[in-house]
Amino acid sequence: MLILVLAAVTLLTGGPSPLTAVWRTVFTPAEQSVAAVTRWGVAQYAKEYHFHRLEAENRDLYIRLAAQSARTRDARAARDENDRLRSLLDMPRRRRDLTLTPAHVTGFDNGNWSARFRIDRGTGDGVQPGMAVIDESYGVAGVVAVCGDDWAAVTGITDPAFRLGAQIERTKLACVASGSFGGMRNGKLTLTFVQDGEQPNTGDLAVTSGLTAAHPPGLIIGTVSALRQDDGGMGIEAVLKPSCDVYALRQVFVVTDFIVVN
């Protein structure tokens, strides 16, 4: 009945319907609220969609980056392996005075008291205790300690029991290269000088002296990294960085014989 009355009023007055005014008053704020909520929902959906899209892109980029990093590592490893193999092929030409027996490293001693490693060659291959063991760059890796018919244990260059006659290549200053417990932890050797002469410099190369019958001259021991007072405070000793990283070794060579070239 109310609706009919309002409709009649609208027809008689020709103005806006009171029903329309009531509708606008009651429902327009609600429509605006619904529109606002709808816009907010659309905005939130857009943000969520954008977030997930970025997340998917980041995940894809991470996977691609990891794959590229793996390829780079593989390429670097292949390059290093090629360099090592080229060095191996070139070894006989560089030192014709040496007789070398190739060996594979089969394991390392565990613990903090030793830097020994084991190889798969022994007395059956002409290997004897006291022989020098080198890497493909003629860097001293250690000295054979004990051996069986087809195996040997090698005292690594940083082992506290390691001792080797040496000299500074530049000055021919005689010295002894030796390992220690402290040096084993930080991968260093000590050079003790056994004669007076020109003081070595940082960067000088230390090589085997060849003064003993068991070891040829000229094998690389390492590089002088620092000079310091000896324990007695009476002289100078050198800290030596070995040329060979024992724990990175995979293949080595035992110097089973050599010719002394004057």
C-alpha 124/C-alpha 236 separation (Å) is 43
- Which one, of 252, 40, 2, lies nearest residue 132 by Cα? 252
pLDDT tens, residue order, the chain (262 aa): 545 554 554 555 555 555 555 555 655 666 666 666 677 767 777 777 777 787 787 887 777 777 777 677 666 656 665 555 555 555 555 667 889 999 999 999 867 788 899 999 999 999 999 999 999 899 999 999 999 999 999 999 999 999 999 999 999 999 999 998 888 888 899 998 877 778 889 999 999 998 877 899 999 999 999 988 877 667 788 999 999 999 899 999 999 999 876 5
Nearest-10 Cα torsion for 194, 196, 199, 204:
-40
Q: Distance from CA of residue 67 to its chain's centroid?
A: 19
C-alpha 1/C-alpha 20 separation (Å) is 16
pTM of the entire structure? Answer: 0.65
C-alpha 69/C-alpha 63 separation (Å) is 10
Q: Distance from CA of residue 216 to its chain's centroid?
A: 32
Which ranges of the chain would DSSP assign to H, the alpha helix? 2-13, 18-94, 181-186
Homologous superfamily of the 96-258 domain (CATH): Rod shape-determining protein MreC, domain 1 (2.40.10.340)
Q: Give the number of other CB atoms < 10 A from CB of residue 198.
A: 11
Joined tokens for residue 33: 């609220």
Q: Which residues of 17-52 are buried (b: 16+ CB within 10 A; e: fewer)?
A: eeeeeeeeeeeeeeeeeeeeeeeeeeeeeeeeeeee
Q: Give the number of other CB atoms < 10 A from CB of residue 94.
A: 10
Confidence at residue 12, expressed as pLDDT on a 0 to 100 scale? 55
DSSP 227: E
E-assigned strands of 97-139?
Answer: 98-108, 116-119, 132-134
Confidence at residue 18, expressed as pLDDT on a 0 to 100 scale? 57
Count CA within 13 A, CB hemisphere, residue 185.
4
C-alpha 262/C-alpha 260 separation (Å) is 6
Domain boundaries, the chain: 1-94, 96-258
